[in-house]
Amino acid sequence: MITSDDKRIVVTCLFASISFGILKGWMSPAESEPYMDEIFHIPQVQKYCAGDFISWDPKITTLPGLYLITIGILNPISKFIGPIMTLCDTFHLRCVSLALSVVNFLIIQRITIQIHGARHGIFGDDKKCLLSSLNIALFPLLYFFSFFYYTDVGSTFMVLLMYCPHLEKRDWFAAFIGFLAVLFRQTNIIWVAFVAVQACGPHLIHAIHSLMHMDKKNVKFSLTFTGQLKELIEGILALLLFYPSTLLKDVVIKCLLTAGGYLIVGLFFIAFIIINKGIVVGDRLAHTAVFHPTQMFYFFGFSLVMSFPHCISKMESFFKHSLKKKPFWLATLSLFFYGIIREYGSLAHPYLLADNRHYTFYIWRKIIHRSNWSPYLGIPFYIYGAYCLSRTLRATGIIFRISFPIFLSFNLCPQLLLEFRYFIIPYLLYRLHIRPEKYSNLMIEMLLYLLINLGTMYAYMYKPFAWPHEPNSIQRFMW
């Protein structure tokens, strides 16, 4: 009899084999030389392969986590195949990204089972969990960059690897992985802090519920978000004002015992900022922080498109509860979105306006800013995307529901550049918590992802073009 583990092994092997075939047969032959950001990453890791750990390209903005894990993978292999420099060519470095993508698929399977597995009743169908995991692994942004030597796949690998042991209550190990995640991309410190909050949350909730039991014998805990939020705020105030010893003993000390590792990572990061005099390692002029709240709206719209098969079923409840029962609230929210877009919607990084190799160049010009009024046409979609996100988060605890939008804003709002790669990790965290309820939704999602992947790969391979000022240099479309 074929077990669930057997199915996962077969699907993972097929995923790895087909992906390698795509890299070997199509993507790499189409452009065998380093392309786009690879022109920075590949020469840098080749210096590491040669034993030069001192030289550094000032155009690189991230820490050397990707290069270190590459050496860690290739060095043992070189003992059997030959000198490590023979493995540090463009193709084999892309294979490293692809290998990390396969491992990501394995981690996603494990996380999906942890969140939606058999112990969760109706949603605990192992086949649905496997299909959902495969869809997440095929997520177009992440899958496309599996064929390039970029930091995105490795950064995602580390964040997922951190989240997995956290769900298993192994937070000190998760914190160590979080430290490594920051070495791939400094902004991952935001997700380290997010996981730390999830680790501490149960201690805070338990302390508040204990106080409620002290005050009343028959306590009925609220099941609504508003009620839970009220309980949380009142509980925190009570702990701060009237029960500081309980706060210290049942919250602070227990949090340090559980999540102290995350605090250590945070202290190291603060020391890094002081020594480095900033977060970015290089090319600081192109990566200055701004206040860009419309990034949240772009994320809502992006998430709506990518999770649309799962959002269709929420339309009825949206129209029933939001349009009919809360029209004033919806109108107020629309005016708020309008005001934010009016004030900040024109913010655009010079890269976005100048680089026509990226799809965001065309989305910005042809859709978002096609005319003076077109930026506001997206408001209904942004609102519905935000609604679908909030509905998904209902299945999580109150701490997750409150903290995810907050940390999402920390991650996106300081970014001037509209870059879909910044959406990868928050979208995956959102998508991992979407319940795999219906096979039809999962199959439509897979079809959507496959079509997008085929389209972007086709455009990359078969629609090259040249800039007038660089007629001998081939350019290609990519995310």
- Could you list the pLDDT tens digit for every one of the 479 residues in the chain? 677 788 899 999 999 999 999 999 999 999 999 999 999 999 999 999 999 999 999 999 999 999 999 999 999 998 888 888 889 999 999 999 999 999 999 999 999 999 997 555 444 578 899 999 999 999 999 999 999 999 999 999 999 999 999 999 999 999 999 999 999 999 999 999 999 999 999 999 989 888 877 766 455 556 678 888 888 898 899 888 888 888 888 899 999 999 999 999 999 999 999 999 889 887 777 778 899 999 999 999 999 999 999 999 898 888 887 777 788 888 999 999 999 999 999 999 999 999 999 999 999 999 999 999 999 999 999 999 999 999 999 889 899 999 999 999 999 999 999 999 999 999 999 999 999 989 999 999 999 999 999 999 999 999 999 999 888 899 999 99
At residue 126, the 3 state secondary structure works out as helix
**How many domains would you assign to the chain?**
3
Is 108 found in the same domain as 4?
A: yes
- Residues 433, 320 share a domain: yes
Q: Say what the pLDDT of residue 104 is.
A: 98
Could you give the 3-state DSSP secondary structure of residue 290? coil
Cβ atoms of 216 and 206 within 8 Å: the answer is no
Q: Quick one: 283 and 301 in the same domain?
A: no
| Shared-domain flag, residues 238 and 176 | yes
| Residues 2 and 13 reside in one and the same domain | yes
Helix (H) or strand (E) holding 472: strand 470-475
Is the residue at 462 inside a domain? no
Residue 251 within a domain? yes
- Give per-residue burial for 51-86: e unless 16+ CB within 10 Å, then b: eeeeeeeeebbbbbbbbbbbbebbeeebeeeeebee
pLDDT in the model for residue 326: 80
Last residue of a domain, one of 241, 259, 287: 287
* Ramachandran area for residue 51 (φ above 0: left; ψ -120 to 50: alpha; else beta): left
Instruction: Give which of 87, 68, 70, 69 is closest to 78, Cα–Cα.
Output: 87
12 & 161 share domain:
yes
Tell whether 474 is covered by a domain: no
Is residue 299 within 8 A of residue 408, CB to CB? The reply is yes
Q: Which of 168, 201, 220 is the last residue of a domain?
A: 168
Residue 186 within a domain: yes
State how far the Cα of 14 lies from the Cα of 177, in Å rounded to an integer. 28
CA–CA distance, 390 with 229 (Å, rounded to integer): 14
Closest C-alpha to 415, from 428, 404, 426: 426
Q: What is the DSSP track for 390-422?
A: HHHHTTS-HHHHHHHHHHHHHHHTT--S--GGG
Are residue 73 and residue 146 in the same domain, yes or no? yes
* pLDDT value at residue 28: 92
Phi, psi (rounded to 5 degrees) for 467 = -80, 145
CA distance 429 to 299: 13
Position 327, amino acid: P
Residue 454 lies in a domain: no
Task: Give residues with Cβ within 8 angstroms of 214, minimum separation 6.
Answer: none
Examine residue 448 and state whether it is found in any structural domain, yes or no.
no
Residue after which a domain boundary falls, among 121, 147, 168: 168
Q: What is the rounded distance in angstroms from the CA atom of residue 97 to the CA atom of residue 81? A: 19
**Separation between Cα atoms, residue 254 and residue 261, nearest integer Å:** 12
* pLDDT at position 443: 97
Same domain, residue pair 231 and 364? no
Query: Rounded to whole angstroms, how far apart are CA atoms 199 and 255?
Result: 8
Query: How far apart are alpha carbons 39 and 33 in whole angstroms?
Result: 9
Question: Would 352 be classed as within a structural domain?
Answer: yes
Shared-domain flag, residues 158 and 29: yes
Tell me the residue range of the domain where 374 lies.
289-437
Q: Are residues 372 and 390 in the same domain?
A: yes
In a domain, residue 471? The reply is: no
Helix, strand, coil in percent for the chain, rounding step 5: 75, 0, 20
**Same domain (yes/no): 147, 2:** yes
* Closest C-alpha to 208, from 178, 184, 243: 243
**Model pLDDT, residue 221:** 59
User: How far is residue 344 CA from its own chain's centroid?
Assistant: 24
Residues 200 and 107 in one domain: no
